[in-house]
Amino acid sequence: MTKTDLIEKVSLKTAGLTKKQTEIIVNMLFDSIKEALATGDKIEIRGFGSFRIRDRRNREGRNPKTGETVTVPQKRVPFFKAGKELKEVVDGKSAG
């Protein structure tokens, strides 16, 4: 499902909101999540999951073309952990 598909689906389920209004809301939601993660905050959505930042240390890697060893610098990466209810729905069990 793409973001456009998500906007379409949400728009169909919300009475009184146009597709454009739904797009603004979806974009605001994603922007809020990105901004929170950029400042190091954790986002927890009960029943769905949580987003947070993980720090990756620098490490040795290999250039696939040359086989040469290279240093991969440390970086911060977003991480999502699914909540119990989401895991159950995905696994085909009823949630809660």
DSSP string, 16-51: T--HHHHHHHHHHHHHHHHHHHHTT--EEETTTEEE
Top-level class of domain 42-96: few secondary structures
Please tell me the distance from the alpha carbon of residue 63 to that of residue 56, in angstroms, as a whole number: 19
pLDDT of residue 95: 56
For 34-48, the pLDDT digits (tens) are 999 999 999 999 999
Low-confidence stretches of the chain (pLDDT < 50) are: none
Tell whether the torsion through CA atoms of 17, 18, 24 and 30 is positive or negative.
positive
Please tell me the distance from the alpha carbon of residue 62 to that of residue 68, in angstroms, as a whole number: 6
Q: Are 57 and 77 in contact (CB under 8 A)?
A: no
Q: Domain locations in the chain?
A: 1-41, 42-96
| pTM of the complete model beyond 0.85 | no
pLDDT of residue 93: 79
